[in-house]
Amino acid sequence: MKKLLVFGAGLIGGSLALALKAADASWHVTGLGRSGDSLQEALKLGIIDEAATDLASAVSAADIIMIATPVAQIMPILGQIAPFLNRRTVITDAGSTKADIAAQAQQILGDAASRFVPGHPIAGAEKSGPTAAQASLYQQKNVVLTPGSHTDDDAITAVRAMWLSTGAIVREMSPDAHDTIFAAVSHLPHLLAFALVDELASRPDANQFFEFAASGFRDFTRIAGSSPEMWRDISLANRMALLQELDHYQQALAKLRQHLEQGDAAGLQAIFERASHARNDWAQQQVSASWKN
Amino acid sequence: MKKLLVFGAGLIGGSLALALKAADASWHVTGLGRSGDSLQEALKLGIIDEAATDLASAVSAADIIMIATPVAQIMPILGQIAPFLNRRTVITDAGSTKADIAAQAQQILGDAASRFVPGHPIAGAEKSGPTAAQASLYQQKNVVLTPGSHTDDDAITAVRAMWLSTGAIVREMSPDAHDTIFAAVSHLPHLLAFALVDELASRPDANQFFEFAASGFRDFTRIAGSSPEMWRDISLANRMALLQELDHYQQALAKLRQHLEQGDAAGLQAIFERASHARNDWAQQQVSASWKN
**pLDDT tens-digit profile of A156-191?**
999 999 999 999 999 999 999 999 999 999 999 999
Judged by CB atoms closer than 8 Å, whether chains meet at B184 and A209 is answered as yes
B167 lies in the same domain as B252: no
Stretch A39-67: mean pLDDT? 95
Overall residue count recorded for chain B in this entry = 293
**Cβ of B265: how many Cβ atoms within 10 Å?**
15
Burial (CB < 10 A; 0-12, 13-18, 19+), residue B44, is exposed
**Nearest by CB: B268 against A200, A235, A268:** A235
Show the domain range for B208. 177-262
Domain assignment present for residue A292? The answer is: no
- Of the candidate ranges A103-107, A158-162, B71-75, B286-290, the one whose mean pLDDT is the lowest: B286-290
Tell whether A289 lies on the interface with B, counting CB pairs under 8 A.
no
- Give yes or no for residue B182 having a pLDDT over 70: yes
- 3-state SS class at B166: coil
- If you average pLDDT over every residue of chain A, what do you get? 94
pLDDT of residue A135: 96
Nearest-Cα distance to chain B for A32, in Å, is: 27
Chain A hits for B219, CB-CB cut-off 8 Å, are: 219-220, 222-223
Higher pLDDT, A288 or B21: B21
CB contact under 8 A, A275 and B201: yes
Residue B270 has pLDDT above 90, yes or no: yes
Contact A260 B231 (CB under 8 A): no
Residues of chain B positioned with their CB less than 8 A from the CB of A100: none
What does the pLDDT read at residue B126?
Answer: 63
Q: CB distance B197–A224 less than 8 Å?
A: no
Q: Report the gap between the CA of A91 and the closest CA in chain B (Å).
A: 24
pLDDT one-digit tens code per residue, B196-219: 999 999 999 999 999 999 989 999
* Confidence tier at B26 by pLDDT (50, 70, 90): very high
SS (H, E, C) chain A: CEEEEEECCCHHHHHHHHHHHHHCCCEEEEEECCCHHHHHHHHHCCCCCEECCCHHHHHHHCCEEEECCCHHHHHHHHHHHHHHCCCCCEEEECCCCCHHHHHHHHHHHHHHHHHEECEEECCCCCCCCHHHCCCCCCCCCEEEECCCCCCCHHHHHHHHHHHHCCCCEEEECCHHHHHHHHHHHHHHHHHHHHHHHHHHHCCCCHHHHHHCCCHHHHHHCHHHHCCHHHHHHHHHHCHHHHHHHHHHHHHHHHHHHHHHHCCCHHHHHHHHHHHHHHHHHHHHHHHHHHHCC
Could you tell me the pLDDT band of residue B34, with boundaries at 50, 70 and 90?
confident
Closest-CA residue of chain A to B183? A209
Beta carbons within 8 Å of A220's beta carbon, 6+ residues apart: A193, A196, B189, B192, B193, B219, B220, B222, B223
Task: Report if residue B293 sits inside a domain.
Answer: no
Same domain, A74 and A115: yes
Contacts of B206 (CB under 8 A, 6+ apart): A278, B200
Closest CA to A178 of A232, A137, A149, A142: A142
Amino acid at A246: L
- Alpha helices (H) along chain B: 11-23, 36-44, 55-61, 71-81, 99-109, 153-164, 175-182, 188-201, 206-211, 215-220, 228-237, 239-261, 265-291
A65 and A82, same domain (yes or no): yes
Considering A155, A173, A191, which residue would you say is the last residue of a domain? A173
A268 touches chain B (CB under 8 A): yes
Decide if pLDDT at B35 tops 80.
Answer: no
**CATH code (residue B238):** 1.10.3660.10
In this structure, the answer to whether residues B40 and B66 fall within a common structural domain is: yes
Say yes or no to pLDDT of B228 above 50: yes
Q: Does A215 touch chain B (CB under 8 A)?
A: yes
Mean pLDDT of B65-88: 95
Is there a domain that residue A221 lies in?
yes
Answer yes or no: are the C-beta atoms of B236 and A268 closer than 8 Å.
Answer: yes
> What kind and span of H or E run contains B2?
strand B2-7
Is residue B283 in a domain?
Answer: no
Q: Tell me the average pLDDT across A36-41.
A: 88
Q: What ipTM does the predicted assembly reach?
A: 0.91
The pLDDT value recorded for residue A290 is 64
Partner A contacted by B216 (CB < 8 A): yes
- Best mutation target, B192, B227, B240, B277, to test chain A (most A CBs within 10 A): B192
A-chain CB neighbours of B261 within 8 Å are 239, 243
Q: Is residue A188 domain-shared with residue A129, that is, in the same domain?
A: no
Of A222, A232, A248, the CB nearest to B199: A248
- Candidates A137, A229, A123; CA nearest to A186 is A123
- Overall number of domains in chain B: 2
Put simply, the answer to whether A278 touches B246 (Cβ < 8 Å) is no
Distance CA B236, CA B97 (A): 10
Confidence label for B293 from pLDDT (cuts 50, 70 and 90) = very low
Chain A 16-55, residues with CB within 8 Å of chain B CB atoms = none
